[in-house]
Structure 1
Amino acid sequence: MIFTHHPVSETGSVVLERRSLELQDTIHDDTLWLDMVRPTREEDLKVEAFLGITVPTREEMKDIEPSELLYVEDGARYMTGRVLSKVSDSEEPGLAGITFILKGNRLVTVRYEEPQAFRMYTLRAGRATGNGPAAAPSGETILAGLIETVIDRAADVLQLQGERIDRLSGKIFEVKEDPSARNTALQDTLRALGRHGDLISKQRESLVSMERILLSLSATYRTAKAPRELREDVRSTLRDLQSLEEHATFLSSKIQFLLDATLGLVNLEQNNIIKLFSVMAVVFMPPTLIASLYGMNFKAMPELEWQYGYPMAVVMMIVAAVLPYVFFRWKKWL
């Protein structure tokens, strides 16, 4: 599916109008943004013929080599980044590869998923962007707006994860008297921390890929002497992105601390169980020794002939079991 975006002036305000383009339709010359969502080979050929570019395939977009993610070919600048998105074949959010192609005054985006940031920017671009010629959109301003929206969305995700991690932190150190409830809570906490850590790791990877694109754009605009306003927007967006990376690093460190704390509590629970078995073994060791002595088949055992020999042995075993228990309680080992 191909979506085209055309500039439209309404009451002096410049907006982008979105149109769905079928394969047999003609691409208008005033098109500024071609958004290709899960394109077919025929749609790739149509765009390639219109702009004189080569649309990368889905396999090529998965390449991790920097030279395959950022390059210039036939006068077009290709930039591939990773954006956090709800992946179609998974229940958990994943990273979706998106290729941005700048050719002249036009932008082409190639993607196979539906990131929330794209929907947000499409709605924003359909509203008034300002008055006067300075507000006129172009492929470069659309690209800057898309990246800015991706970063805004990343900030929302990190803020939400931070709030969830804070709630988990309170639960980890909450005192529960019921051992079974405490063990269940620790297991649930470990799973939740794993999910949050995985999501933050993916978000950091997305931010790093966007940083590469912004650094490349910044160097290009500085060399080509692009409009100052555009260069300032890129630098400002880059600073915001780097601050988000620091925040993501802080959240990752906090998750690691909470993981260590949770595992420490799990070890304490295991130590308590092992300690209980050890104490029980020590408590029953003296009675076992007494029972073993009187279970020997020796003829010269005068206690066997005593009238109260059996009660005496039972009392000795009880006393031998109670004394270690009282000692452990006095030492507060139990």
Structure 2
Amino acid sequence: MITAYMLHNQVLEVVPLTTNDVLPPNTIWLDAYKPDDDEREWLSGLFLEDVPEEEELDEIEASARFYWDTDGLHILSLFPQRIGGETRGVNMSFTLRNNLLISFREEDIGVVRLLRHYLRHDRVEITDAMDVLLELQDLKVEYLSDLIEDGYTTLEETSEQVLNDDEIYDMLKELMEQEETNSQIRLALHDTRRALRFVRRTVRQQLTNKQKKAIDEVLHDIESLLPHTQFLFDKINFQLEAAMGFTNLQQNKVIKIFSVAAVVFLPPTWIASIYGMNFERMPELSWAFGYPFSIGLMLISAFATYYFFKRRGWL
């Protein structure tokens, strides 16, 4: 699906395109969402070189994510995508040339939907294609900030579950999900910082003062958010270690009970072993009170061992 955004008198008009259409005049943004082969062939008419392929969206090398060629400025940007309790990064490709921004994405990205909503309600001011790119990056950083705030709330809840046996496994699962979310947040922040620095360095002469200021503000926001991600990492690791320590403590209590039980029953076992010997001459064998004597001796030895452990504070 290809959507064109045309600027008329400072107002953006959104029009879906088919492969039978021509590029409308005053188009500043073409958004290609899951383009099929026919749509890719149609888009190839707008490129001097190759149209970005789907497998290229997962490149991690800086030279493949940020570069300049005859088609203009290319940026491969990572956007966080939250589905249920899982957060993962989704790459979106941008090509900027002659006041036309062409984007490729294989998944429905929430930040793009949010920008479309803002455009319909005139909540953002767009004057050219660069403004669209910068606004997407700004909205992404705001969304990452919201995810960080959610992380603080989640960790406050899990901290109350650390010493609760019934909720320990749910808490561990939540912490693992939060650790993955925080990793995606940190990765997206670093990726956005690299992208904006590349834009500022590469097309600095073409940027307006307002756009330069917007880039600096977003970069400042990123720098202020990165320490929060590190704090969340430390807090997650602390809670994981506390939970594992509590689990080990509970297991040690069980092992301690079995160990004490084995020691308590050791003297009675020793006594029973003595009277289980098959020697011919044992005085107690012909004694009328030999059986109750041996049973009593076992009980006394067991209680004496238990009392000794209790007195020493080992129980």
On whether the aligned pair clears a TM of 0.5, the verdict is yes
CA drift at 1:15: 3.1
- Taking structure 2 as the reference length, the TM-score comes to 0.94
Q: Could you say which residue in structure 1 is the equivalent of 2:4?
A: 4
Q: Hey, what's the Cα distance between the residues in 1 that align with 2:104 and 2:193?
A: 19
Q: Could you say which residue in structure 1 is the equivalent of 2:167?
A: 185
Q: Is the 8 A contact 1:15 1:126 kept in 2?
A: no
Structure 2 unaligned regions, length at least 5: none
Structure 1 residue 123 and structure 2 residue 120: aligned? no
Task: State which of 280, 295, 308 in structure 2 corresponds to 1:314.
Answer: 295
Q: Could you say which residue in structure 1 is the equivalent of 2:60?
A: 64
Structure 1 unaligned regions, length at least 5: 177-181
Q: Is the 8 A contact 1:37 1:113 kept in 2?
A: yes
Between the aligned residues of both structures, percent identity stands at 30
Matches within 5 A, 1:230-269: 230-269=211-250
Partner letter of residue 117 of structure 2? L
Q: Could you say which residue in structure 1 is the equivalent of 2:255?
A: 274
Q: Could you say which residue in structure 2 is the equivalent of 1:94?
A: 88
Worse overlay, 121-130 or 291-300 = 121-130
- Taking structure 1 as the reference length, the TM-score comes to 0.89
**Per-residue CA shift, 1:9-49, capped at 9, x if unaligned?**
4xxxx332211111212221211100110112221222231
Q: Could you say which residue in structure 1 is the equivalent of 2:152?
A: 162
Task: State which of 38, 44, 47 in structure 2 corresponds to 1:42.
Answer: 38
Aligned residues: 315
Q: Hey, what's the Cα distance between the residues in 2 that align with 1:109 and 1:36?
A: 6
Partner letter of residue 92 of structure 1? E
Structure 1 residue 229 and structure 2 residue 223: aligned? no
Name the SS of the counterpart of 1:96 in structure 2.
Answer: strand
Matches within 5 A, 1:77-92: 77-86=73-82, 92=86
Q: Could you say which residue in structure 2 is the equivalent of 1:179?
A: none
Structure 1 residue 290 and structure 2 residue 271: aligned? yes
Structure 1 residue 301 and structure 2 residue 282: aligned? yes
Q: Hey, what's the Cα distance between the residues in 1 that align with 2:266 and 2:126?
A: 88
**Per-residue CA shift, 1:77-96, capped at 9, x if unaligned?**
10002111257xx9833211
Q: Hey, what's the Cα distance between the residues in 1 that align with 2:252 and 2:263?
A: 16
CA drift at 1:64: 1.2
Partner letter of residue 193 of structure 2? E
Structure 1 residue 31 and structure 2 residue 13: aligned? no
CA drift at 1:328: 2.2
Task: State which of 191, 195, 202 in structure 2 corresponds to 1:213.
Answer: 195
**Per-residue CA shift, 1:236-275, capped at 9, x if unaligned?**
1011112222211111111011111111111111111111
